[in-house]
A and B are shown apart, each in its own frame.
Chain A
Amino acid sequence: MIEIESVTKVYQMGETEVRALNGVDVHIGQGEMTAIMGPSGSGKSTLLAIIGCLDVPTSGGYRLDGENVESMSDDELADIRSRKIGFVFQQFNLLPRATALENVTMPLTYAGVSGKERRARAEEALRKVGLSDRMHHRPNELSGGQQQRVAIARALVNDPAILLADEPTGALDSKTGTEIIRLFQTLHRDYGQTVIYVTHDPFIARHTQRIIRLADGQVISDDRVAEPLEAGAPRPSELALSGSLVVL
């Protein structure tokens, strides 16, 4: 259970301050699948980083499963990240000199998982994202989509209750993007994971149950999706092109 209350995030840029978040209230229940949308610079990445305990708010409160995160020490936050959160970055952030398998194994070493179990779990995570045949490749030997999937496998490997992704499909073609969304939907449905992702694409956003829109660091709308799309559903534009325009 994520409870964000009147959170602000202010960046001091010399004389001027940038209010990346300006009084945001958001509650997201366990097992919800949510999309965050909004124009560039509206504070989506900032909000996601705070939810993921990678950053702390300038003011306001954040309670995660009843615990006050904003007053936690650095090491306590690391512990929360290790146990509860999987984060997929906009720029992948893989270790360039490590193989896919080593990248995916890394979180497990800090979670105190024994050596034997680690490898099995890392392989399993790579299998889930369909990269069993690329385990020993380094990031520069993988395509952008494959790197993104390694990053997702790394986020999944600790079985986090919350999976956060910053524009996970932004760099991918629509087919690979659909695969990623299918994966998220499966995780959400079969394992009850809370999934929150940022996207600019309204079609991708409609694969969730809920869409939160930000503008200028504030929540401007928070809507339930009446009928979430299934991954693989045709895009409206594709329907239009195929000449069989149907009202959704």
Chain B
Amino acid sequence: MNITENFRIALRALAANKLRSALTMLGIIIGVASVVALMAIGAGATAGITAQVQGIGSNLIIVMPGRLQQGPNRGGMQPAALYYSDYEALAKTLKDVNGVAPSYETQATVVFETRTRSAGVIGITTKYAELRHYDIEQGRFPTPAEQQSGARVAVVGVNVVRDLFGGLNPLGRTIKLNGVPFTVIGVLEEQGSGGFGSADDYVMVPLETGYDKLFGASAVEGGKRKVSNIVISVKDETAVDSVMAQIERTLRRQHKLAPGDEADFLVLSQTQLLDTLSQITAILTAFLGAIAAISLLVGGIGIMNIMLVSVTERTKEIGLRKAVGAKRGAILLQFLVETLVLSLLGGLLGIALGVGIAAAVTATGVITASVTAPSVALAFGFAAAVGVLFGLYPAWRAAQLRPIEALRYE
């Protein structure tokens, strides 16, 4: 008996019991689809976050306020702050750098005529935009004069434009940020759905203007202006470490920290950011992986159930086939082909479904889910293994029986 013959027998057996075949396949489909889709979402989120960090550039250093600090002379927990004066000190002392620039970030309600949304507002300087590689798609950035004079002008991200202007040309129109009118003079080039909080969702205003008219009292502490972060662009990548050391020294002096004190600020290079983020995304991926593993398991149990439920019927069938002259090998081959067809077909449908779910998630624009080959291979391999194992095991046991025993099996 040749292999095509075997295929024909197997297909006929599958067609003869459509419900059983469909249910078995369903288990495989669900398991495979969930693994493929979840892993794609995990991989997409990881890639998005990583790309965003990499977009910063490998010669960029970001200084941020440190974590909550508990100091004996400060009285309880409070966030450490970074000040405009820190920026000035860095700008004055740092060597081997292309530039130093501060920004201040807050949330504001943005209103255009009848439409309202909330958005992040960043007070920036021209230098900051340059160092962060923010480019203008339409219009322009504030001029130095506008920056110094505290002009109420704003550059908006594409998502903000879409939500507020709905097709209108935003240039020259007036929006209100927390009630303060600003004139839109530019639209930021789209950054892409890089993940969480891309500049597409921000409104940018001159830093000076922000302090004067928008940020209010919370941007000032003890008479000093606070900044959210300071970016430093290093001339040469190899100098990143030495510049970081300079920053550390300068800021410790600025913040009057004793040699043993823990720093109340963070100095991060792209490499460090990537390290930190990869820990986060590893947790995310592991979490999604765990969910996927559970659905695979559930799918596997489904397959097992169907296979075991039909064992009596199949045992009799095997007894009969043996009685009319089938050798053990022929029986096992038939069942192997049967389960392989089921597993492969279910696996392929599962992959298709998983890819479809990933595409649907991507279409929502939150995350660009990217289906990865290892997840497909893993899911497929597992489903096929479960299908074949639980399909073949009862057949193998029945094939060991003498025909008369198998025929009498209850």
Count of CB-CB pairs between chains A and B under 8 Å: 69
Binds B, one of A48-56, A121-129, A186-194, A224-232: A48-56
The 8 A CB mask of A23-56 against B (1 = contact, 0 = none) is 0000000000000000000000000010010111
Are A54 and B402 CB-contacts (below 8 A) given A93-B407, A95-B317, A110-B1? Answer: yes
Are A54 and B403 CB-contacts (below 8 A) given A93-B316, A109-B1, A112-B1? Answer: yes
Chain B contact-residue range equals 20 to 34
Are A87 and B1 CB-contacts (below 8 A) given A78-B328, A110-B330? Answer: no
CA distance A102 to B11 in the complex (A): 14
* Min distance, Cβ B314 to any Cβ of chain A, angstroms: 11
Residues from chain B with a CB closer than 8 A to the CB of A52 are 323
Chain A contact-residue range equals 20 to 34
Instruction: Please tell me if B224 contacts chain A, counting CB pairs below 8 Å.
Output: no
Contact among B9, B317, B326 with A78 in the assembled complex (CB-CB below 8 Å) = B326
The 8 A CB mask of A69-84 against B (1 = contact, 0 = none) is 0000011001101110
Are A109 and B9 CB-contacts (below 8 A) given A54-B404, A154-B324? Answer: yes
The 8 A CB mask of B320-331 against A (1 = contact, 0 = none) is 111111111110
Are A78 and B404 CB-contacts (below 8 A) given A97-B17, A98-B16, A109-B1? Answer: no
Instruction: Please tell me if B5 contacts chain A, counting CB pairs below 8 Å.
Output: yes
Are A56 and B327 CB-contacts (below 8 A) given A106-B321, A109-B1? Answer: no
Considering only residues 316-347 of chain B, those with a C-beta below 8 Å from chain A are 316-317, 320-330
Q: Is the CB of B329 within 8 A of A75?
A: yes
* Min distance, Cβ A167 to any Cβ of chain B, angstroms: 15
CA distance A95 to B324 in the complex (A): 12
Q: Is the CB of A111 within 8 A of B325?
A: yes
CA distance A54 to B404 in the complex (A): 6
Contact among B316, B324, B402 with A110 in the assembled complex (CB-CB below 8 Å) = B324
Q: Is the CB of A93 within 8 A of B1?
A: no
* Residue on B nearest A115 in the bound complex, by CB: B5
CA distance A95 to B325 in the complex (A): 15
CA distance A227 to B404 in the complex (A): 35
CA distance A111 to B327 in the complex (A): 10
* Residue on B nearest A157 in the bound complex, by CB: B324
Instruction: Please tell me if A184 contacts chain B, counting CB pairs below 8 Å.
Output: no
The 8 A CB mask of B248-270 against A (1 = contact, 0 = none) is 00000000000000000000000
Instruction: Please tell me if A89 contacts chain B, counting CB pairs below 8 Å.
Output: yes
Instruction: Please tell me if A185 contacts chain B, counting CB pairs below 8 Å.
Output: no
30 A-B residue pairs with Cβ-Cβ distance under 8 Å, sorted by A, are A54-B407, A55-B405, A74-B328, A74-B402, A75-B329, A78-B325, A78-B327, A78-B328, A79-B327, A81-B322, A81-B323, A81-B324, A81-B325, A81-B403, A82-B324, A82-B326, A89-B323, A89-B407, A93-B407, A97-B17, A98-B12, A98-B16, A106-B324, A107-B324, A109-B1, A110-B1, A110-B330, A111-B325, A115-B5, A158-B324
Q: Residues on A close to B: CB < 8 A? A: 49, 52, 54-56, 74-75, 78-79, 81-83, 87, 89, 93, 95, 97-98, 102, 106-107, 109-112, 115, 154, 158
Closest 5 CB pairs of A and B: A82-B325, A97-B16, A107-B324, A55-B404, A54-B404
Contacts A54-B323, A95-B317 given; 5 further ones with Cβ under 8 A? A55-B403, A75-B328, A93-B407, A107-B324, A110-B327
